[in-house]
Structure 1
Amino acid sequence: MYPKRAFRTHLAGFSLGLYAWLAVATAQAQPDPLPSWSDTVAKQAIIEFVQATTDNTKPTFVPPEERIATFDQDGTLWVEHPMSSQIIFCLDRVPALVAAKPELKDAEPFKTVLAGDRKAIAKLPMADLEKILAATLSGMTVAQFADEVSKWIASAKDPRWKRPYTELAYRPMKEVLGYLRDNGFKTYIVTGSDQDFVRVYAESTYGIPPEQVVGTAGGTTYGYGKDGKPLLTKDPKLLLNDNNAGKPEGIHLMIGRQPVIAFGNSTGDKEMLEYTEASNGPRLAVLLLHDDADREYAYGPANGLPETKVGPFTQELYDEAMNDGWVVISMKNDWRRVFAD
């Protein structure tokens, strides 16, 4: 028989051991919210942030109405190399545009696009690409444009994987979107791509409704169709360039609240992450580094990765992330898988 004091100690030890076992068992019973992620610091930081901001017993608690999460799209939610899907859409629309406007046939840059020389197209300066974007993203009603995008998204395939672009959304990031929404966060896309273009497929691809897409916005003109019904026609007039400093400007205009967590992948997202971190309270800024040439692409030039004009992640951006405590996701090391299959 145990002495009374020893018996109490024994029971206390037994109870503590039981509680510890129950805690471990309960944790193990909880489904992993991010199963496509490796058990690394990046995954831990996201989960700990969500737990800290949704526990109303902690000083880090964030009220549901303030739980705003913003995500860049190209290179953050889906593949952007060798060029963004919107650019490819616009290039694919050039033949139809020239058929409607034959005077463009021998005019540059439309002549180069019609020739089909991908190397020559890749060398087109930004000013020429902007001409193509302005011409192919305007001149039709909003409804007609949405229909054109829907048809293209349903049929177009990435040249490398031979799969629809919507199937090249990153599985780990879709898990983050779902995890945040399950915990009361409102998820927004904040993208340099055309706002109307992304709104067509954002809900079916990411679970993000069109009113939660903030993108580069062109003007529209109100008018009436032949049937007398009102309509909006897309104009070649830029209202908001939602890239770089335009991202926080767009967030203010369209959302009206600063994000508490933001995800990006390039210099075009720097200001959005800085804006997210600038407010009081818990904040998390996250950057995706493309360093996996086997499963996707590798480009930087941060950390000696190859140079790129599409979605650059510079060493200066990497150093800022390290100095400010931002989370940098390594696609190679932090993700178990990249796509759905």
Structure 2
Amino acid sequence: MIGLMRRRWIGLTVVVLCACTTTPHTGTTQAARPARATSGNATLAAWNDTPAERSIVDFVTRVTTPESKDFVSRADRIAVFDLDGTLWPEQPAPVQLVFTLQRVKTLAARHPEWKRQEPYRSILRGNLKNVAGSGDGGSMKLLAATHAGMTTDSFASIVHDWFDSASDPRFNRPYSGLAYQPMVELIAFLHANGFKTYIVSADNTDFIRAISQSMYGVPPDEVIGSTVRYQYGMTNGTATLTRLAQVETLNDGARKPQTIQALVGRRPLMAFGNSDADLPMLEWTTSGDGPRFAALVHHTDAQREYAYDRAARTGKLDKGLEEANVKGWLIVDMKDDWRTVFKGEDAGAAAAK
């Protein structure tokens, strides 16, 4: 959380790259592809009918068709997803950072001394440049004030309440409504085809778990994020775990493959990210034997969302674009390949907007 928050403060100011299989498409036995990507009640209606959508469906068809030489058993159908910038926006700031900053403002009435103490004073004054300069010491203070000193149940309740009331000012919709509809459909499509999906993020595990089921259909036990330490205790005869202001694991970059291996025990079959920080997870996924698929969400739609890549200070995608060319990954454009962006958004209204 410490280094993570510092890096993301600096960043305050989906080409989906699909790493296909190690075996070519030609000459592969597979079932006929449906006219639209459907499986039971799962459909990819928010995706345009483009090579990106077709490559996803073709891959899933090949690995789930028993007669296919690329058939993969259910036990090995593992798909992993980054969160920020992959399943919801990370600009102009990641959602958890917004939660943290707003949480400081909510608690300020109980702490009049914060008007004189950093980094709280700068947050209350809206001076985020000073907040970014507060370093690890400032991060620890914010962690203690907004994420620690409470039971796990209390923290989950706080997160739920925030998502129920807080809204994104640009899109004028609650943060709970910022899930990317194409990715929500993709996760449901994979579930319908026997995949187990995991959210693998640098955000705090408990923060993600509070909304993973309702927003993405991903249960809490399939969330792998950064962790803090807990203190066990008894309160009125009830066992509790209290969150401490101590970081256990920062789940970012090369750490992601390590935590996937530690907690899942299988190399993923599919991986989805959006920035250079996700490359280790995608590289590890596609280095396995047999068919593999990886994707990077490249933000190219400044009208409906944001457009950024190589020069971005948050969610930078530079090396990933180079790897796409070298490894022959498919490039799918968010602007061209997503019919809608946000969950519950009408396609026609979104286009007009």
TM-score, normalised by the number of residues in structure 1: 0.85
1:93-132, aligned counterparts within 5 Å? Answer: 93-98=103-108, 103-117=113-127, 120=129, 123-124=132-133, 127=136, 128-129=138-139, 131-132=141-142
- 1:338 is aligned to 341
| Aligned-pair CA distance for 1:224 | 1.0
| Aligned-pair CA distance for 1:197 | 0.3
| Aligned-pair CA distance for 1:130 | 5.5
Q: Structure 1 residues 257, 309: CA separation in 2 closer, same or farther (over 3 Å shift)?
A: same
- 1:237 and 2:241 matched: no
- Larger proportion of helix: 1
Give distance in 2, aligned partners of 1:288 and 1:228. 48
| Aligned-pair CA distance for 1:133 | 3.4
Identity of aligned residues (%): 42
| Aligned-pair CA distance for 1:101 | 5.4
Q: Structure 1 residues 121, 178: CA separation in 2 closer, same or farther (over 3 Å shift)?
A: farther
| Aligned-pair CA distance for 1:325 | 3.0
Give distance in 1, aligned partners of 2:38 and 2:279. 33
| Aligned-pair CA distance for 1:99 | 5.1
- 1:73 is aligned to 83
Q: Structure 1 residues 98, 44: CA separation in 2 closer, same or farther (over 3 Å shift)?
A: same
- Secondary structure of the equivalent of 2:168? coil
Q: Does the CA-based 8 Å contact 2:119-2:134 persist in structure 1?
A: no
Give distance in 1, aligned partners of 2:287 and 2:184. 26
- Larger proportion of strand: 2
Q: Which runs of 5+ in 1 are unaligned?
A: 1-22, 302-306
Q: Structure 1 residues 250, 166: CA separation in 2 closer, same or farther (over 3 Å shift)?
A: same
| Aligned-pair CA distance for 1:173 | 0.8
- 2:328 is aligned to 325
Larger Rg belongs to? 1
1:282-297, aligned counterparts within 5 Å? Answer: 282-297=291-306
Q: Does the CA-based 8 Å contact 1:189-1:212 persist in structure 2?
A: yes
1:1-341, aligned counterparts within 5 Å? Answer: 27-28=34-35, 31=38, 33-98=43-108, 103-117=113-127, 120=129, 123-124=132-133, 127=136, 128-129=138-139, 131-225=141-235, 227-301=236-310, 307-314=311-318, 316-339=319-342, 340-341=344-345
Q: Does the CA-based 8 Å contact 2:271-2:293 persist in structure 1?
A: yes
Give distance in 2, aligned partners of 1:92 and 1:30. 40
Q: Deviations over 1:168-224 (max 9, x none)?
A: 111111111111000000011001111000100110000001000000111111111
| Aligned-pair CA distance for 1:91 | 0.8
Give distance in 1, aligned partners of 2:37 and 2:162. 40
Q: Which runs of 5+ in 2 are unaligned?
A: 1-30, 346-353
Give distance in 2, aligned partners of 1:234 and 1:332. 41
Give distance in 2, aligned partners of 1:217 and 1:179. 29
Q: Does the CA-based 8 Å contact 2:164-2:174 persist in structure 1?
A: yes
| Aligned-pair CA distance for 1:131 | 4.1
Give distance in 1, aligned partners of 2:70 and 2:323. 24
Q: Does the CA-based 8 Å contact 1:191-1:243 persist in structure 2?
A: yes
| Aligned-pair CA distance for 1:98 | 4.9
Mean Cα deviation higher: 327-336 or 91-100: 91-100
| Aligned-pair CA distance for 1:31 | 4.6
Q: Structure 1 residues 200, 107: CA separation in 2 closer, same or farther (over 3 Å shift)?
A: same
Task: Read off the aligned partner of 1:308 and give its amino acid letter.
Answer: A
Give distance in 2, aligned partners of 1:53 and 1:324. 21
Q: Does the CA-based 8 Å contact 2:187-2:216 persist in structure 1?
A: yes
Mean Cα deviation higher: 212-221 or 316-325: 316-325
- 1:13 is aligned to none
Give distance in 2, aligned partners of 1:288 and 1:142. 32
RMSD: 2.2
- Secondary structure of the equivalent of 1:60? coil
Q: Does the CA-based 8 Å contact 1:240-1:250 persist in structure 2?
A: no
Q: Does the CA-based 8 Å contact 1:267-1:311 persist in structure 2?
A: yes
Q: Structure 1 residues 221, 27: CA separation in 2 closer, same or farther (over 3 Å shift)?
A: closer
- Secondary structure of the equivalent of 2:60? helix
- Secondary structure of the equivalent of 1:290? strand
